[in-house]
Structure 1
Amino acid sequence: MKQRFILALLLCGFLFAGISCKDDKTYAELLKEEQDSIDKYLKGYRVADIPANLDDLETTNGDRESTAAPYYRLENGVYMQIVSKGNGTAIETGNKVYFRFLRQNLKTLVSTGSADAVGNFYYENVDDFYFNYNTVTTSSSTTYGLGIEYPLQYVGNKAIVKIVVPSKMGFTETTSSVIPYLYLVEYSLSEQ
């Protein structure tokens, strides 16, 4: 009798566990949703490879809302649209790079048409937001993710770019939640 009671409890436990897990999505499903969101966002833009001659990189001439310049494919599913190439001073390996940013949840943006933008883009002092630029394969900071460093191969000091960053290449907290973000980033070799 006691064994039947324990067996019944175990079966009920498995039943409830199955019901509660039924609504959860697998990691593979979340990754597919993420890619679908990225694809849907990019559908409104021209997507291109980086040209052999970097002088041929197109910009939006400062217009953050322009669809005229393409989103360039970078590594690991990251895409970049150049708003401004900067002042011509290259950012090199070992430089301390300060950055201003705004980011929007791309899943929310494509499903509702808008998403709150959060970040420090309008802060006067950004000395707490920096990374030491190393290479395109090793991020100096797991906090910010490698995705925001990729454009530095193509733009310089004071450049402004929009970047589509999949979760695996973004801020630490986005990795497990599988949320892609659209970033607006300005790079600087000085704090202000």
Structure 2
Amino acid sequence: MKKLHLVLMLAFVFGCFLQSCNDGKTYAELKEEEADAINAFLAKNDIEVISEEEFLRDTVTKENQYVLFDDNGVYMNIVQRGVGEKLGDGSYEIHSRFMEIALQDRTELFASGDTLLANMHWNDYPSAQTDPETFRLDVSGDSYSATFMDRSKMASYYESSAVPSGWLVPIPFLKISRTTEASKVSRVKLIVPHSQGTMMASQYVYPCFYEITYNLGR
């Protein structure tokens, strides 16, 4: 009984903390606003959404076509599957380049469309070319977990070594290899809701757009 009381108290305190960090709105209201922000992004960019059932017929997404995974709310577009093999059980060092863009305003933190973090070179952010993010990926059957390694921008900025769950969603559908050829690197675009994102996204309840590459390290 004491343990149940403690759990309920912690849930209440966490709920109050979330509410104070988000202008007094309830969690349900914040999730509804997040869904609106994602739908607005889909409409603005004329993105076609397909079901997971349709995607699993061939595990291919066309240009500007995203699959929605019902169990986690992540939207995925496979830009390049890669040329390696699907990763089996084991531990892997993964090198990634990415950009992270907020899809919703958060007062005094950032505005919708702001680039939050990046180490991928592209025209609008030419200074972003730095060392890749490196994380240790562990695969066991259908279970995937990962931890950022030394000199990680994500771990430093968000003060957490945990790789966002949304980053791991594409891995079962990719053929990740060790390559220096851009055309052979596994690459995806993602829309990640707060529940699958960083600790800050979870705290403030906002979605992000990601473009991420996956390359085998040592």
TM-score, reference length from structure 1: 0.70
Distance in 2, matches of 1:113 and 1:165, equals 14
Structure 1 runs (4+) deviating above 6 angstroms are none
Bigger Rg over Cα = 1
Equivalent residue, structure 2, for 1:139? 145
User: When the two structures are aligned, how many residues end up with a matched partner?
Assistant: 158
Equivalent residue, structure 2, for 1:13? none
Per-residue CA distance 1:102-126 (angstroms, 9 max, x = gap): 0100114xxx884335222244422
Per-residue CA distance 1:40-75 (angstroms, 9 max, x = gap): 222321111243343x51343xxxxxx3xx101224
Distance in 2, matches of 1:151 and 1:116, equals 22
Question: Does 2:120 correspond to 1:121?
Answer: yes
Q: CA deviation at 1:92?
A: 3.1
User: Which of residues 57, 60, 68 is equivalent to 2:60?
Assistant: 57
For the aligned residue pairs, the C-alpha RMSD in angstroms reads 2.6
Distance in 1, matches of 2:28 and 2:168, equals 26
Question: Does 2:67 correspond to 1:72?
Answer: yes
Contact 1:103 1:118 in 2 (8 A): yes
Cα distance change, pair 42–173 in 1 and its aligned pair in 2 (3 A): same
Which structure shows the bigger proportion of residues in strand conformation? Answer: 2
Amino acid at match of 2:191: V
The answer for unaligned runs of 5 or more in structure 2 is 1-19, 106-110, 122-128, 148-160, 177-184
User: Which of residues 58, 70, 77 is equivalent to 1:81?
Assistant: 77
Question: Does 2:185 correspond to 1:166?
Answer: no
Cα distance change, pair 137–170 in 1 and its aligned pair in 2 (3 A): farther
Contact 2:99 2:115 in 1 (8 A): no
Secondary structure, counterpart of 1:47 in structure 2 = strand
Cα distance change, pair 107–137 in 1 and its aligned pair in 2 (3 A): farther
Percent identity, aligned pairs only, is 27
The answer for unaligned runs of 5 or more in structure 1 is 1-19, 61-66
